[in-house]
Structure 1
Amino acid sequence: MSVVEHHAAELSPRISEASVADYIALLKPRVMSLVIFTALVGMMIAPDGLHPVLAITSLLCIAVGAGASGALNMWYDADIDALMSRTVNRPVPRGRITPGEALAFGLTLSFFSVMTLGILVNWIAGGLLAFTIFFYVVIYTMWLKRWTAQNIVIGGAAGALPPVVAWASVTGSLAPEPIFLFLIIFLWTPPHFWALALFRTDDYARANVPMLPVVAGPDVTRLQILLYTVLLVAVAVLPWPLGYFDAIYGVTSLLLGAGMLRLAISVYRHREGHAALQATRALFKFSILYLFMLFAVLLLDVIGAAFVRLIWS
């Protein structure tokens, strides 16, 4: 489909049937919730802290920026979303929101989230948020997703940046801690999404999206899932011996990593029938718990330390 054909629908004069719920769906609230949580952890582990009003402002800007990325993604991907059972009920392919409205909504949110974060907090954080939106929409959605089976690997950088943006909103700089958080999410993304792609292969094939199982086959995908999981577990543990995160985090990381490895090995071993489907779904579900628990431990550690200081002060 040419660029002209892809966006011709934007000129349609029909009246939108969108409700508030449709616009909320356009923001990809599930993805947004993960972004808010990882950004909160990046903010809380940063030294010195931030004024509560500025902290809330920063989180809201990061959340709105993530929602803007989701809206622009749905605008551009409306044609392939309409072909996939997982995405066919999104507001644009359903006709609830016109492509032009989705584009305008996404651009407006992008502009105001970046400008608000830059003006009220600092321009390093604002610039990183702008780059995150650009990377997700232009580099991943418009280019990588339809061009290469490595779309998730490279594109995962966009989803890994929110804790870095949050850290920068507090400190105005970068440091090893947010880089580790970035690497954890970056390396977590391929096994998480490839597990989904293994039991959604027909969807991606129908939409002509070159996901790894479609292009290279399920066996290669299973091997890549295992390799990335091994790398993820190693990198996730690394901040502990290097002294950036404490032993509670380190032990939790080892235990969760053992669970991820066990499930990744199960996916690699079970290649046919119901057992293969169960293995991929189990890994997909556990991967969400893995990331949540890993970041939750860091958050609870900060809260616990603050509580102890409050008691002894």
Structure 2
Amino acid sequence: MSLISEGANVGPGGARLIQPTGYEPGLYEPSNAEVGDYIALLKPRVMSLVVFTALVGLAVAPGSIHPFEAFTALLCIAVGAGASGALNMWFDADIDALMTRTQRRPVPSGRVRPGEALGFGLTLSVFAVVVLGLMVNLLSAALLAFTIFFYAVIYTMWLKRSTPQNIVIGGAAGAFPPMIGWAAVTGSVSLESLLLFAIIFFWTPPHFWALAIYKKSDYGRAGVPMLPNVAGDAHTRLQILLYTLILVPLGVAPWLLGYTSVLYGAVALAMGAGMVLLAVQVYREASPADRACRHLFAFSILYLFLLYAVLLVDRGWGGLIARVAA
């Protein structure tokens, strides 16, 4: 095989310039990405939810934490979440380019080169884990490292493309932040922190499967085996209802177990009733517009936010202020 590509350039005097086969001009040059493109790599909307749930875990945990350590813990959790997002966008650039929802992301759109996204994600990962371990404690750092690994490797590289249960198992990555916040304060894991994990874990399938139903064509075009594409809409609607029926009692459990006041219990019951009502509507929905799925997807975000916000006010906010001011 000749080392000279068919499209070899001609230099002065007619000499042919040798290029490796497959060479593309500019392939190895740095991109012209702007700061906003690197911020987009961090998935800031996902990061904000991660930081919020981690804050709740940190606030409701018993014990004390120095204000600097609390800030450091939240910063490292945020950076770790952003690192996971960057690694996800690096690996998923090929399928992101095929879906209308993701094709304008920095890597598939060409604004950030894959190698830059990979290096950015790895650098942030190491920074977040090392700083959290040195400045706070080793357990919280170990949990953060496992969360990044789980999302980037177990979910992104394996589960997402291989099984329709990708969201169910992969949802664990998004459920760890409150446990990390809890561990930052206590250096341990308890039943209450596991309950915070379980709420997000069982919230994830109905939340994302509702999205997957009305974005089914996107996932089908990219070859991602989401449950509606593999098992059909009817089975997915049933699974949404079943997971919602598990989620709602878990959402009320902090009150039933005596961890919170009646304020949290009332909000959890009211919002849980809304989730069940919408899940039943999704189960009965037969129109191609998937209006019920859109409503459930939007309401599920409000559900999780309100549960954690009331938990923060009811149980943690005053205690957190007292601890960091001590």
- How does the TM-score come out when normalised to structure 1? 0.93
Q: 1:283 aligns with which of 279, 286, 296?
A: 296
Number of matched pairs: 300
Q: 1:108 aligns with which of 123, 133, 136?
A: 123
Match of 2:153 in 1: 138
CA distance in 1: counterparts of 2:44 and 2:254, whole angstroms: 30
Match of 1:192 in 2: 207
**Equivalences for 1:148-297 in 2 at 5 Å?**
148-274=163-289, 277-297=290-310
CA distance in 2: counterparts of 1:82 and 1:140, whole angstroms: 19
SS at structure 2 position matched to 1:93: coil
Amino acid at match of 2:234: D
CA distance in 2: counterparts of 1:158 and 1:217, whole angstroms: 26
1:85 and 2:94 correspond: no
Unmatched 5+ stretches in structure 1: 1-7
Match of 2:311 in 1: 298
CA distance in 2: counterparts of 1:306 and 1:120, whole angstroms: 22
Amino acid at match of 1:278: R
Instruction: Give, in angstroms, the shift of residue 234 of structure 1.
Output: 1.4
Instruction: Give, in angstroms, the shift of residue 167 of structure 1.
Output: 0.4
Instruction: Give, in angstroms, the shift of residue 286 of structure 1.
Output: 0.2
Amino acid at match of 2:281: S
Amino acid at match of 2:199: I
State the Cα deviation string for residues 173-196 of structure 1 (Å, max 9, x = none).
Answer: 011111111000000000000000
CA distance in 1: counterparts of 2:288 and 2:219, whole angstroms: 20
CA distance in 1: counterparts of 2:61 and 2:78, whole angstroms: 19
State the Cα deviation string for residues 228-278 of structure 1 (Å, max 9, x = none).
Answer: 00000011112222222322211111110000000000011111233xx21
206-215 or 234-243, which moves further after superposition?
234-243
Answer yes or no: is the 8 Å Cα contact 2:254–2:260 preserved in 1: yes
**Equivalences for 1:54-73 in 2 at 5 Å?**
54-73=69-88
CA distance in 2: counterparts of 1:193 and 1:187, whole angstroms: 11
Match of 1:5 in 2: none
The structure number with the bigger radius of gyration is 2
99-108 or 236-245, which moves further after superposition?
236-245
Q: Which has the higher helix share?
A: 1
- How does the TM-score come out when normalised to structure 2? 0.89
Identical-residue share of aligned pairs (%): 64
State the Cα deviation string for residues 61-90 of structure 1 (Å, max 9, x = none).
Answer: 000000000000000000000000000000
Backbone CA RMSD of aligned residues? 1.8
**Equivalences for 1:28-47 in 2 at 5 Å?**
28-47=43-62
Answer yes or no: is the 8 Å Cα contact 2:244–2:276 preserved in 1: yes
CA distance in 2: counterparts of 1:225 and 1:106, whole angstroms: 33
CA distance in 2: counterparts of 1:308 and 1:141, whole angstroms: 37
1:117 and 2:137 correspond: no
Amino acid at match of 2:293: T
26-35 or 47-56, which moves further after superposition?
47-56
Amino acid at match of 1:196: L
**Equivalences for 1:4-15 in 2 at 5 Å?**
12-15=27-30
181-190 or 47-56, which moves further after superposition?
47-56
12-21 or 286-295, which moves further after superposition?
12-21
Answer yes or no: is the 8 Å Cα contact 2:60–2:316 preserved in 1: no
CA distance in 1: counterparts of 2:128 and 2:320, whole angstroms: 32
Unmatched 5+ stretches in structure 2: 1-22
Instruction: Give, in angstroms, the shift of residue 50 of structure 1.
Output: 1.0
CA 1:309–1:26: 2 relative to 1, 3 Å: closer
Q: 2:63 aligns with which of 38, 45, 48?
A: 48
Amino acid at match of 1:203: D
Instruction: Give, in angstroms, the shift of residue 308 of structure 1.
Output: 11
Instruction: Give, in angstroms, the shift of residue 307 of structure 1.
Output: 10
CA distance in 1: counterparts of 2:59 and 2:66, whole angstroms: 12
Amino acid at match of 1:280: C
Answer yes or no: is the 8 Å Cα contact 2:59–2:317 preserved in 1: no
CA distance in 2: counterparts of 1:308 and 1:180, whole angstroms: 23
